[in-house]
Amino acid sequence: MHEEWDIGSPGVLQLPSGRRVRGRALRAPLPDGPLPEFGVYLQGRPLVPIDWDSRWVHWRDFRVPSDGADAYDALYEVWVRAGRQRVEVACSDGRGRTGTALACLAVLDGIPAKEAVSFVRRHYDPRAVETPWQRRFVGRFRSPG
């Protein structure tokens, strides 16, 4: 079994299923501890290459993803991989886009969409999901099941 994120580490969100995902700010230094095995990065433009498997989702600051289907596919991959790997989701500040993505992961994990933002604000960052458009995106996000 792989080494999981420590639940007490900054940015680590544990979903009801037990999956753990680390949210973080790309502007901040990489946190101490094990490196991610997979990451999804929510930026207006691609990042420079990094040392682990990753995926970029075109998502401008304070907005929603440019391509909802691509974002859904990337977040579903995060959710699946979080059951067996250390995964992270990150944007510049680790709050708006990252919080929105984490709330969508909560929906994939079975939390009703109308409760997902509150869940992430309670367990990740009280200011996560910054705009009405981001809240609406989470509210319309659906689990495949």
Neighbours of 7 (CB within 10 A): 9
Residue 1's pLDDT band, with cuts at 50, 70 and 90, is very low
Share above pLDDT 70 across residues of the chain, in percent, rounded to a whole number: 97
For the chain, the domains span: 12-140
Question: By CB neighbour count within 10 A (0-12 exposed, 13-18 middle, 19+ buried), where does 117 fall?
Answer: buried
* Mean of per-residue pLDDT scores for the chain: 93
Both structure tokens of 91? 């944007």
Among residues 125, 116, 117, 122, which one has the least CA distance to residue 93?
Answer: 125
- Would you identify the CATH topology of the domain 12-140? Protein-Tyrosine Phosphatase; Chain A (3.90.190)
Q: pLDDT tens across 33-90, in order?
A: 899 999 999 998 887 778 999 999 999 888 889 899 999 999 999 999 999 999 999 9
